[in-house]
Amino acid sequence: MELVDAPHSKCGTFGYVGSSPTAPTLMNTYSRFDISFKKGKGCWLWDKTGKKYLDAVAGIATCSLGHSDRVLRRRLSTQLRKIQHISNLYNIEEQEQLSRTLTNISCAKSVFFCNSGAEANESAIKLIKKYGNTINKGKESIILAAESSFHGRTLAALSATGQPKYQKGFEPLIQGFKFFKFNNFDSVKKLFEECENNNQKISGVLVEPIQGEGGVIPGSKIFFKSLRNICDEYNSLLILDEVQSGVGRTGKMWGYENLGIEPDGFTLAKGLGGGHAIGALLVKEKANIFYPGDHASTFGGNPFACKAALTVLEEINRRNLINNVYLRGEQLSAGFEELSKKFPNIITGKRGLGLIQGLVINKDYVDAKKITLKAFDKGLLVVPAGGNVVRIVPPLVISRREINILLDKLNLIFGEL
């Protein structure tokens, strides 16, 4: 095979011809596992050798309807034959349908669409900053976020992420963030009081209902109710990062429904598109303060992405998947309890809600990444999370039988450690 010149191109050539197909052309941004998948169906994936894997990662809580879903394939194929992108210079019917659907099933009243969780959280940060500038009266604007949080890789989202390991090398970060201990209201109250005494104003709080990357740590009802109250007291916005917890993942449509509060806004991505790129910032009236020119996204809310999200939401309702998530979550939790009793030297705890759950692994015994690698041999995909946790986030369509298969595979893996 020979190199073929690109017609009228000053850049050289197309393709691999005459050079090794393994030559590195991707930037070295990922520590990838040495595996490549060729097809998927439901909760299963097949690698290039034909080996079959039960997928308890789902693109990291993204493939809500599993792989190659029949309805999603049909709807998106139809959409491609109709229209896929026109930009937000014009009205977009699918975008308007999706915004109505989302506001009808949540506490929000309006929606901004983008392409990812990081973009959604960037939008939230800009919103909080604009809100702060309208109420601060000359005081320095501060945004609170939690330690061990994860809000994305863009610079402002990274600055709001309470994990220094992700921030190293990218200093100076965006200023104006302070961090509290998750589920510790005293640390929140202390920051509010300190800011009041230092000519600063807390414009808003950005926090996850359940910390995913931080180790699958659910928020406590008492903590979030206190957080809601202090935000009301100080006229600060409470914005929840539901990028991983939203769209049915916890056994409720929205993570905040587990906490007994309503936020002023929340962000979405991951499971909303069922594997297709879409993000969103949803807000109540108080936080609906963006005007033309304040924020924008070229691809955000295009017809194709919105049709994917509409299909996911319709299928969650039609198939009663919220109930399935709750039942499968209970089954998974019970299975984890049995595994914890059987392997107490390896498993030191379990936590999570619905189909975002984690096994806390004794770091003195084994690393969670090693368990992830051993799971490949057993035809199982899991993903590590912070604090040496094995995270389980399968598609929302996973069946009772498939949960039992998952638990059997974990039993074999731990038995061989």
Range of the domain at 403: 321-417
Identify whether residues 133 and 265 lie together within a single domain.
Answer: yes
pLDDT at 14 exceeding the cut of 60: no
Q: Looking at the structure, do residues 266 and 396 belong to the same domain, yes or no?
A: no
Instruction: Give the C-alpha separation, 380 to 375, whole Å.
Output: 5
pLDDT tens-digit map of 295-314:
999 999 999 999 999 999 99
**Residue 3 pLDDT > 60, yes or no?**
no
Burial of 90 (0-12, 13-18, 19+ CB in 10 A): exposed
d(CA 121, CA 124): 5
Average pLDDT for residues 34-49, to the nearest whole number? 96
Contacts of 381 (CB under 8 A, 6+ apart): 45, 53, 54, 55, 56, 57, 375
Residue 368 lies inside a defined structural domain of this protein: yes
Question: Is 60 inside a domain boundary?
Answer: no
Confidence of residue 11 (pLDDT cuts 50, 70, 90): very low
Same structural domain for residues 413 and 402?
A: yes
Whether residue 117 is annotated as binding a ligand: the answer is yes
Same structural domain for residues 257 and 200?
yes
Judge whether 167 is annotated as a binding position.
no
Is 100 a known ligand-binding residue? no
244 is known to lie in a ligand binding site: yes
Are 293 and 338 within one domain? no
CATH code, domain carrying 116: 3.40.640.10
Task: Evaluate if residue 21 carries a pLDDT over 80.
Answer: no
242 is in an annotated binding site: yes
The set of residues, in sequence order, having a beta carbon less than 8 Å from that of 372 and lying 6+ positions away, is 33, 382, 383, 384, 390
Do 82 and 186 fall within a single domain? yes
User: Does residue 277 sit in the same domain as residue 304?
Assistant: yes
| Tally of structural domains, the chain | 2
Same domain for 282 and 328, yes or no, is: no
Rounded to 5°, the CA angle 368-371-377 comes to 155
Residues 255 and 148 in one domain: yes
Instruction: Point out the domain boundary residue: 277, 302, 318.
Output: 318
Q: What is the pTM of this model?
A: 0.93
Task: Tell me: pLDDT of 2 over 80.
Answer: no
Q: What is the pLDDT of residue 249?
A: 98
Whole-angstrom distance, CA of residue 57 vs CA of residue 51: 17
**Is residue 393 annotated as involved in ligand binding?**
no
Domain check: are 312 and 182 in the same one?
yes
Whether residues 170 and 203 fall in one domain: yes
Task: List, for residues 141-178, the tens digit of each pLDDT value.
Answer: 999 999 999 999 999 999 999 999 999 999 999 999 99
pLDDT at 7 over 60: no
150 is an annotated ligand-binding site residue? yes
Q: Are residues 339 and 415 in the same domain?
A: yes
Residue where one domain finishes, among candidates 294, 318, 342: 318
Q: How many CB atoms lie under 10 A from the CB of residue 49? A: 8
Q: Is 269 annotated as a binding residue?
A: no
146 is in an annotated binding site: no
